[in-house]
A and B are shown apart, each in its own frame.
Chain A
Amino acid sequence: EDLNLDELLAKHQAFSARFEQLSFDENGELMAESAGTASLASGQRLRWETTSPWPQLLVVNNTTVWLYDPDLEQASYRTVDTTSPVNPALLFNANTDAIKAVFDISEIENGFRFTPLESSQFSLIELIQDGNLIAGLNYVDLIGQRTEVSFFQHNYSVPSDELFEFVPPEGVEVVTGG
C-alpha cells in the first residue's frame, strides 16, 4: 500500500538522487534537457548540481542561495527570501500542515499536485510517487514553461553538511543575484 503524503515526505527529509530534467515552453516544445545530482537535508537545505549539458551548481541553505556557473566564471548569491513560498525542492522538507499553509494539495493519478494559494514563481508543482519513492518533481512557472524532473538511484544516507556550504573558487567573480 503506497505511503501517504506525510509518510512520503517524512521518508525524503534527507536524501540524494540522480536527476534528469526536461523543460518545455508554453507550447510544449522541448526547450532544454539537463542531468545531475540532487541532495536535500533538513533545515531547507538543497544542493542541485547540474553536470550536463552545462555545469551549474545551486546551493540553498537556510540563509543563502548560491548559483555557480563555472563556464561563466560567475557565482551569484542572494539571501533566502523566507517570505517567498517554498521552492519546489524544499517541499520535501515540509510536512503536510506546513505545505497546506502555502499550497492547495490535491491527489493526481501518480502523486500529488500543489497549487500556490498566493502568487509565487509557480502556477503548480507536482510530486510524482512510485510506491514509497518520490520518483519525480514537475513544476510550471508563471509564463507556462513546464519542467519535469525524474529522480533515480535514491540514496537515503544523510548527505554531509559540507554539500550545503559553498565557497566561490579563486578567481570567480561573485555577484549579487537577481
Chain B
Amino acid sequence: CQSYAPPSSNTNVLPANWSLSGKLGYRGSESGSATITWRYADSNHLINLSGPFGSYATQIAGNASNLSIRTDEVLMTGPAEIIMLEQLGWSTPIDAWPFWLNGEAAPDKPATNYQRTSSQVSFTQDGTHVQLDRFRVVDGYTLAHRIICERDGQRLTLLVSSWNLGV
C-alpha cells in the first residue's frame, strides 16, 4: 500500500477524540503481544487489551494522574506509571501518547533530537525514544501506523490496523 511522508508541520493535529485498534507488542520484565483498542475522548483513555485465549485481559481507564487498571483479579487505581508497572509489567507516559501518535513531543517536557525523514519521525522525550513510521492518510490526516517506544530496556510497539477519528 502506498505510504506517505509524515506531516511536515503541526497543521495535522489529531482531533480531540479518536480511537484505534491494532496490536501492541510489549517487551520488558514481561513480554508478549495483545490485541488493543484505544479510545481517547475528553482527555481520558479507555484501552482494552486481550491476548490469545483470554490471557492478558486488561482494561485501562482514566489519565496519567488517575488511572484504573482492571485485570482478571484486581481493579487497581492510582498514579498511572506505578500501577501500570505493577499490573502489566511495563509502563509508559500515557498522557504523552495523544501527542506522540500525532508525531509531536508532548508540550509539558523537553524533547531532544527531533528528526523527520521522508518516511519516519523520531525524537526522545522524558527518557523515551519514540519512533513513528508507516504513515498513511486516514480521513485527510497523515497518520503513523507503527509507533515504537523504547525506554530503559523496555520496548512497546503499537501496530495500528485502523484509525477512527472524531468519534
Contact = CB atoms under 8 A, between A and B. Distances in A.
Interface of B is mostly: strand
Contacts of B55: 87, 121
A142 B33 contact: no
Interface stretch (B7-15, B24-32, B93-101, B113-121): B24-32
B35 A119 contact: no
Contact of A72 (B56, B59, B159): B159
A139 B53 CA distance: 8
Interface residues of B, number: 30
Contacts of B70: 143
Interface of A is mostly: strand
Interface string A38-75: 00000000001000011010100000000101011010
Contacts of A139: 53-54
A74 B32 CA distance: 8
A32 B37 contact: yes
Given A119-B72, A143-B57, A143-B71, A76 B32 contact: yes
A153 interface: no
A72 B55 CA distance: 19
Interface string A128-142: 000000000001111
Interface of A: 23, 25-26, 31-32, 34, 48, 53-54, 56, 58, 67, 69, 71-72, 74, 76, 87-89, 119, 121-122, 139-143, 145, 147, 173, 175-178
A119 B73 contact: yes
Contacts of A23: 35, 50
Contact of A121 (B23, B54, B59): B54
A72 B157 contact: yes
8 contacts: A23-B50, A31-B50, A34-B35, A58-B53, A72-B159, A141-B50, A142-B57, A143-B59
A54 B145 CA distance: 13
A11 to B, nearest CB: 22
A122 B50 CA distance: 12
Most buried by B among A71, A119, A140: A71
A72 B31 CA distance: 11
A147 B27 contact: no
B107 interface: no
A111 B86 CA distance: 39
Contacts of B35: 23, 31-32, 34
Interface in B28-52: 30-33, 35, 37, 48, 50-52
A48 B53 CA distance: 10
A74 B25 contact: yes
Which of A58, A74, A89, A139 gathers the greatest number of chain B CB atoms within 10 Å?
Answer: A74
Contact of B32 (A119, A140, A178): A178
